[in-house]
Amino acid sequence: MEMIRIDKKQLLSFCVKTFEACGVKTADAQDCADVLVAADARGIPSHGVARLQRYINGLQEGLMDPVIEPEVIRETPVSLLVDARGALGAPVSCQTMQSVLDKAEQSGMAFGAVRNSNHYGIAGYYAMKALEKDMIGISMTNTAALGVPTYGKQVMFGTNPIAFAAPADKEKAFVLDMSTTVVTRGKIEIYDREHRSLEPGWAVDKDGLSVSNPGPLLEDMFHRRGGGIVPLGGDSESSGGHKGFGLAMMVDILTGVLSGSAWGADIYDKGESSARVSHCFGAMKIDLFMDALEFRRNMDKMLQDIRNMTPAEGHEQVYFAGQKEFEAETHSLAEGIPLAENVYQTLRKIGVELSVPFS
C-alpha cells in the first residue's frame, strides 16, 4: 500500500491544535498528540493518529472530559493511586508515570495505578520514560472487553497490553510492547478500513468459530453479541492460548482489581459513555542490584547476540523486542511519518471541520 509521509513536527502541531480546538489545555494536548504520533513513527499505526477521530468524538460527545483534574486517592513514598475521573488517558498517564519515576529516584522503585481513565495509546511510550533515568520501566492497561477466553465464545477480558523497557548502552533499548490477545482491536479496524480478510486464528464469531470478516466482528464486539479476539497463543491450550489468557487476567488484576475499578466483561463502550479503563505503571533503579553502566553493557551483549544470530532459511534477521520500532522511528524522522491514504484524508476532513489546516 502506498503511504503518504508527513513531517513529524507538522503532524504533532496539527494534532495539538485539534485537541486544543476541542477544549483541551495545551500541555494535555501535547501529551495526547505526542503519544499518538509516537505510535505512527514507531510503525504501530493501529494506535496512531488514525484514532484521532475517536478522541475528538469522545470529547465532543462528553465521553472524555478535557478539563477535569485527576484526584490522588492514596499515596506513599513508593506508590500512588489516581482517579482520572474520566479525563483523557494520555495526560494522566504521563503525570502518573512521572510521579512513579520521581518516587523511584528517591526510594529505588515505585508503582502507580490509575482508574476511571480512557485510552492511553501505546503502552511502551510510558515504560520507555524510565530508560533515560537508568531504570527499568513497566506499563500496562486493561481495555474494553474484546478477548475470548480459551474455549470460550463471549468476551471476558481486554487486549490488555503489557510493556517492559530496559536500557542498553550503545545498542537500542529492549522494549517489549505487546497485547495479550493475538492482535489488537486497532489491527482489526485497519483490516476493516482496507477491506481485508482477517488471518485464520485471530478471532472467533458468536458461535466460537473462526471469523474472517472484520466488519461484523467489530459490530458484534461493540454490541456484546458474542465473538471476539483470541488470547495470545491461539484458540486452544495445545497452542498456548491459556497462557495469553492468564496474562490478560494478570493485567486486569494489576490495573482494575488493584485500583478498585472495573475489570473483565464489566469494561465496555456504551452509548452514553466510553469504557472506563485502568492503568498500572512501575519503575525500578538498576543500581539497586548492580552498577547501571555494567547492566547496560551486559544488555548490549545480550542484544548483539540476538542481532548476530544466523536467521532461519527465508528470513533476513532475528529481531529483539523494540528493534523494528526503533528502526521505523529513525526512518520516520528522516523521511516523514507514514500515513495510509484513508487516514490522511480523515485528518484533512478533521482539519476542515475544526478549522485547523492540514496540508
pLDDT of 274 strictly over 90: no
Mean pLDDT of 195-217: 89
Angle at 346 between CA 7 and CA 12, to 5 degrees: 30
| Confidence at residue 333, expressed as pLDDT on a 0 to 100 scale | 95
| Confidence at residue 210, expressed as pLDDT on a 0 to 100 scale | 87
pLDDT of 101 strictly over 90: yes
| Confidence at residue 273, expressed as pLDDT on a 0 to 100 scale | 47
**Which of the pair, 270 or 245, is modelled with greater confidence?**
245
Residue 252: all three cell numbers together: 486486569
| Confidence at residue 182, expressed as pLDDT on a 0 to 100 scale | 93
Which sign, positive or negative, has the C-alpha torsion 343, 344, 350, 352? negative
Residue 309: all three cell numbers together: 544470530
pLDDT of 332 strictly over 90: yes
Domain annotation for the chain: domains and CATH numbers? 1-67+336-359 (1.10.1530.10)
pTM (predicted TM-score): 0.93
| Confidence at residue 270, expressed as pLDDT on a 0 to 100 scale | 61
Which sign, positive or negative, has the C-alpha torsion 3, 20, 160, 333? positive
Which of 120, 118, 112, 136 lies closest to 31 in space, CA to CA? 120
Which of 111-120, 138-147, 214-223 is predicted with the least confidence, judged by mean pLDDT?
214-223
CB 227 within 8 A of CB 205: yes
Provide the pairing of β-strand 3-6 with 337-340: antiparallel
pLDDT of 82 strictly over 80: yes
| Confidence at residue 23, expressed as pLDDT on a 0 to 100 scale | 96
Provide the pairing of β-strand 109-117 with 79-83: parallel
Q: How far is residue 302's CA from residue 327's CA, in Å, rounded to a whole number?
A: 18
Over the stretch 155-170, which tens digit does the pLDDT of each residue have? 899 999 999 999 999 9
CB 204 within 8 A of CB 153: yes
Over the stretch 25-60, which tens digit does the pLDDT of each residue have? 999 999 999 999 999 999 999 899 999 999 999 999
Over the stretch 281-329, which tens digit does the pLDDT of each residue have? 999 999 999 999 999 999 999 999 999 999 999 999 999 999 999 999 9
Which of 8-17, 132-141, 191-200, 268-277 is predicted with the least confidence, judged by mean pLDDT?
268-277
CB atoms within 10 A of CB 50: 23
